[in-house]
Chains A and B, each alone.
Chain A
Amino acid sequence: RKEVEQDPGPFNVPEGATVAFNCTYSNSASQSFFWYRQDCRKEPKLLMSVYSSGNEDGRFTAQLNRASQYISLLIRDSKLSDSATYLCVVKKGGGSYIPTFGRGTSLIVHP
């Protein structure tokens, strides 16, 4: 089992739709979680950190489920500009700061 797994997609959704991605992780000692966005032929950029209590930033909501070992990203009212690949990133605790990246989920928002 891979350390961090994501459905590669693509997820094809119309503008205005709500879409959700999940990311599962295998190491129960994982402590920090992030979602990055990567546009085509560009570098990944931090979208949001994921906290135990969940967090929201405008149309984006991230949640953590430690019992089932997954994190989720919900995008409401999708825009054309949301089209990108969304990378899940997990860091272990215990002094390790090296992140593990998922392969990403591709989102295509169409008119």
Chain B
Amino acid sequence: DGGITQSPKYLFRKEGQNVTLSCEQNLNHDAMYWYRQDPGQGLRLIYYSQIVNDFQKGDIAEGYSVSREKKESFPLTVTSAQKNPTAFYLCASSTREYQETQYFGPGTRLLVL
């Protein structure tokens, strides 16, 4: 089955620690995205990538980093510079056609110890 997978489902971060969230898709989509969702809030775009080896900052990129070495993979690193990382992180992918929709992974819930 085609789809998007994210791991882990839950992740705990200690103070000063960098953690990496995994996102993989087998939909052959060019574009991939990372969103953050806080309780009762909408989705905020962290980073997006249109093509391998290229990515752009979204609205709230500070304290995060990404890479796009393969079409299928778009990992997100939450660095120690992100002072309030507790949130629900969602990865999505799509084609680059404006009329096409996004497909989301099941999300990773990050908690700070």
Contacts and interface: CB of A to CB of B under 8 A. Distances in A.
B48 A43 contact: no
Contacts, number: 49
Band of interface residues on B = 20 to 34
A106 to B, nearest CB: 9
Given A43-B104, A43-B105, A97 B45 contact: no
A43 B101 CA distance: 14
A21 interface: no
A14 to B, nearest CB: 24
Given A42-B106, A43-B106, A97 B43 contact: no
Contact of B48 (A8, A95, A98, A102): A98
Interface of B: 31, 40-43, 45, 48, 88, 90, 94-107, 109
Interface of A: 8, 31-32, 34, 41-46, 49, 87, 89, 91-93, 95-99, 101-104
